Amino acid sequence: ANGYYYSRWAKCIWSSHDLSDMVFVDNYIFNKDVYIQFNSTVGEYVGYTEHGVYNAKNWNNNPGQLQQERAQVEAYCKHNAEIDQSTITDKS
């Protein structure tokens, strides 16, 4: 079990029924520490370590990559939230 651990957690956060306040957060994690994060409210990557700052700078200079991450609010978050809400509403 000794070694390095890399993971990536993407999550969608919202509090209103109309999903207007939805935020997409994409965390890149190394050994339990977030080293770089994309937050749709900020609209770009933010680095939290030296390596994360380096990657954030490079990734923020790639318009295609930023556009793809920004699109996740609609493509991933809202799509799945609408399915979840309709499933809950249908069972009421």
Q: Note the pLDDT tens digit of each residue in 10-46.
A: 999 988 778 888 999 999 999 999 999 999 999 999 9
Using CA atoms, how far residue 9 sits from 6, 26, 36, 38, in Å, is 10, 6, 11, 11
d(CA 89, CA 42): 32
Which range marks the domain in which residue 71 is found? 6-83
Q: Are 34 and 10 contacting, i.e. CB atoms less than 8 angstroms apart?
A: no
Number of structural domains, the chain?
1
* Residue 73 covered by a domain: yes
Each residue's pLDDT tens digit, 38-53: 999 999 999 999 999 9
Any idea what the CATH number is for the domain that residue 47 is in? 3.10.320.10
The predicted structure's pLDDT at residue 1 = 56
The predicted structure's pLDDT at residue 60 = 98
